[in-house]
Amino acid sequence: MARKKIIAGNWKMNKTPSEAVALVEELKPLVANEDVDVVFCVPAIDIVPVVEAAKGTNIQVGAENMYFEESGAYTGEISPPNMLVDAGVKYVVLGHSERREYFGETNEDVNKKILKAFEHGITPIMCCGETLQQREQGVTMDFIRQQVKVGFQGVTADQAKTAVIAYEPIWAIGTGKTATTEQAEEVCAGIRACIAEVYDEATAEAIRIQYGGSVNAATAPELFAQADIDGGLVGGASLKADFGKIVNYK
């Protein structure tokens, strides 16, 4: 059975609650495509109004981050069960390169968050990707395999089958640069092979792997046609009407 494409928008630190609702209203008719899973990953303060605005549509709502504890003295953090689940969140972006770079998140931190997300029925979108220096040094797959293996430590095969991995070459995020289709497919295939090693072929065939890194309406059709690319994690283009063209890429 073919994997269903998943196309998620990562809004990052953009849109006030009122602006978020306006964007959902604008995008609703443009992203109406039952052939793909459509997810809006929005800032924490926008989650409640966006869930409300998206009711009755094919849009599912994701968070951009969460903590690995359920409650307590963790000022500024977001609780998976007490906040995200209660608000209607279905997905969460974990381990984005910006979180790793600016906030010092480690593979071990990401692993704890992934385990906690599964515990509460939230689907993790785990990000991985290399810097330009790592690519030029020829260690891309070594680095990404470590991110995947540590990130999925303690995750069962049944859980892994439902997870999403987003390959985002750091050098192509917000730069306007996009990995070539061949580069993107090569790494996504390598990630799938890594999952097969850790688990088995059935798990590797089930897990969905996205490409992220300046995906736009022009690049989406060719990228999403690749055997191992199951959609995209879209940054800037998810904040515009063009996101509808990405969702309806065929």
Residues with catalytic annotation?
Answer: 96, 168
For residue 237, give the nearest of 5, 7, 2, 78 by alpha carbon.
7
Mapping DSSP to helix (H, G, I), strand (E, B) and coil, where does residue 58 land?
Answer: coil
> Which residue, 99, 157, 103, 158, is CA-closest to 128?
99
Whole-number Å distance between alpha carbons of 116 and 70: 8
Residue count (the chain): 250
Q: From 164, 134, 137, 172, select the one nearest 148 (Cα to Cα).
A: 164
Report which DSSP code applies to 2. Answer: P
